[in-house]
């Protein structure tokens, strides 16, 4: 019998883990990864944190040692992209002109930064991959002031790193508060206060347009800085799938096994949307955890060990001396309740329909670990929750 051919498009957490999980579960055909990156998969979270501050080097970033790919017989094709997908002939066209046939295909194409409309790319830095981070690091080292566009995690982490490096930093968030999409107001408020204490000026709730290194706010104010970085969210790379006729919406639509509308094609990570138990609806998550866990499920399924992806979302962010950790989600919650306080932090639970759908902690690892155990496989009914410590006094430590 001919060997099965697994092809994975992508070069980061999701691609690597899909390939590795297929091998782990006994897939004995050929495994080929097609990555547009020039280097093997590497850690992404430090790109907006420790790497910018020069606390770690590029040599600390690889997700696996080089021998891993050899040992696992994973063929890594770097520096090329998949330009077309033919789902009938089961073939990928690559940017180097070659064609790559497959029996099973995993799309782990990731997402790309949303660009500021009307602004020239040369004037604004974005942060997604290693090259972006290295460029940003060298520009930060020479800049005295920084303007950050966007109040999401990327923007806040870059602002935090730049402030720690002594730059004068201003952050403009288009929404009415920072982290409007991914954290409740009580958490946004705490983080905002910490940024202000570090000297970061924050303007929220205004649209911007940019020309050169100056931006104009919708209210007419004009600001300039040596350097502008934009963190305006990401757009899923689903074009390869949609042009091949696969079902796509906000990302490539998959079921709980990572399977797309074509039964031999899977999609995982930032580019895929799945029906998420914590969100209560179809959603697309951009996180290391989602990329790893969803890819593992798909990889095992491809190897014949059907494995649904039902893990709770997890996320973290480090800014200054604040360690933010989340399990589950907070969007869609009807209320948020303080469940613990620590000398420098706190934890809030997020409740929807009498179930805890998420817990966000700042400098409170203990409560977060309780939450991750308690919410490991489903939103937790309030009636079944035994909170880790007595509820604090009303108002104590609240943001």
Partner 1 sequence: MATIIYVQPDGREMPTQVRTGSSVMLGAIQASVPGIEAECGGALDCATCHVYVHPDWLARLSPLSDDEDALLDGVAAERRPESRLSCQLNVTDALDGLIVQLPDRQC
Residue 31: how many CB atoms within 10 A of its CB? 26
Report in angstroms how near the CB of residue 297 gets to partner 1 at its nearest: 13
Nearest CB to partner 1, comparing residues 209 and 344: 344
Nearest CB to partner 1, comparing residues 45 and 174: 45
Nearest CB to partner 1, comparing residues 176 and 373: 373
- Which two structure tokens, joined as six digits, stand for 94? 């690559």
Q: DSSP for 28-77, please give it.
A: -SEEEEE-SSSSS-B--GGGGTTTTTTSS-GGG-BSS-HHHHHHTTEEEE
Residues pairing with 31 in the sheet: 6, 74
Is residue 144 within 8 A of residue 44, CB to CB? The reply is no
Task: Please tell me the distance from the alpha carbon of residue 115 to that of residue 230, in angstroms, as a whole number.
Answer: 8
- Which two structure tokens, joined as six digits, stand for 12? 């980061």
Report in angstroms how near the CB of residue 292 gets to partner 1 at its nearest: 6
**Among the listed residues 198, 219, 197, the one whose alpha carbon sits nearest the alpha carbon of residue 207:** 219
Report in angstroms how near the CB of residue 366 gets to partner 1 at its nearest: 4
Instruction: Please state whether beta strands 251-253 and 124-126 pair in parallel, antiparallel, or not at all (unpaired).
Output: unpaired
Report in angstroms how near the CB of residue 44 gets to partner 1 at its nearest: 9
Report in angstroms how near the CB of residue 13 gets to partner 1 at its nearest: 9
Report in angstroms how near the CB of residue 52 gets to partner 1 at its nearest: 14
Nearest CB to partner 1, comparing residues 62 and 174: 62
Task: Please tell me the distance from the alpha carbon of residue 325 to that of residue 323, in angstroms, as a whole number.
Answer: 7
Task: Please tell me the distance from the alpha carbon of residue 288 to that of residue 293, in angstroms, as a whole number.
Answer: 8
Nearest CB to partner 1, comparing residues 149 and 187: 187
Q: Which residues form the interface with partner 1 (CB under 8 A)?
A: 43, 45-46, 60, 62-68, 71, 288-289, 292, 314, 316, 318, 323, 325, 365-366, 368-369, 372-373
């Amino acid at each position: 019998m001919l060997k099965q051919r697994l092809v994975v498009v992508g070069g980061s957490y999701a691609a690597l883990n899909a390939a590795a999980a297929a091998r782990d579960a006994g897939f004995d055909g050929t495994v080929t990864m097609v990555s547009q990156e020039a280097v093997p998969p590497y850690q992404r979270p430090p790109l907006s944190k420790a790497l910018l501050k020069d606390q770690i080097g590029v040599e600390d970033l690889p997700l696996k040692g080089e021998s891993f790919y050899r040992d696992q017989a994973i063929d890594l094709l770097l520096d090329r992209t998949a330009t077309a997908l033919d789902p009938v002939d089961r073939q990928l066209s690559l940017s180097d002109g070659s064609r790559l046939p497959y029996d099973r295909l995993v799309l782990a194409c990731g997402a790309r930064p949303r660009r500021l409309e009307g602004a020239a790319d040369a004037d604004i830095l974005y942060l997604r991959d290693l090259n972006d981070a290295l460029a940003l690091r060298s520009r930060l080292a020479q800049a005295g002031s920084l303007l950050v566009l966007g109040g999401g995690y990327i923007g806040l982490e870059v602002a935090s790193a730049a402030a720690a490096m002594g730059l004068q930093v201003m952050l403009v968030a288009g929404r009415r508060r920072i982290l409007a999409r991914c954290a409740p107001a009580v958490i946004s408020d705490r983080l905002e206060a910490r940024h202000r204490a570090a000297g970061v000026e924050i303007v929220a709730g205004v649209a911007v347009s940019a020309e050169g290194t100056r931006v104009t706010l919708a209210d007419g104010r004009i600001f300039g800085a040596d350097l502008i970085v934009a963190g305006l969210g990401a757009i899923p790379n689903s074009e390869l799938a949609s042009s091949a006729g696969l079902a796509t919406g906000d990302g490539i639509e998959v079921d709980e096994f990572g399977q797309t509308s074509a039964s031999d094609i899977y999609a995982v990570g930032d580019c895929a949307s799945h029906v998420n138990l914590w969100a209560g609806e179809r959603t697309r998550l951009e996180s290391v955890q989602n990329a790893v866990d969803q890819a593992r499920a798909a990889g095992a399924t491809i190897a014949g060990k059907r494995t649904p992806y039902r893990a709770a979302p997890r996320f973290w962010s480090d800014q200054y001396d604040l360690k933010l950790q989340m399990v589950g989600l907070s969007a869609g919650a009807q209320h948020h309740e303080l469940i613990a306080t620590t000398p420098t932090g706190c934890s809030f639970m997020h409740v929807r329909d009498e179930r805890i759908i998420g817990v966000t902690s700042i400098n409170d690892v203990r409560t977060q670990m309780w939450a991750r155990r308690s919410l490991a496989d489903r939103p937790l009914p309030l009636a079944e929750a035994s909170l880790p410590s007595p509820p604090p006094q009303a108002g104590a430590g609240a943001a």
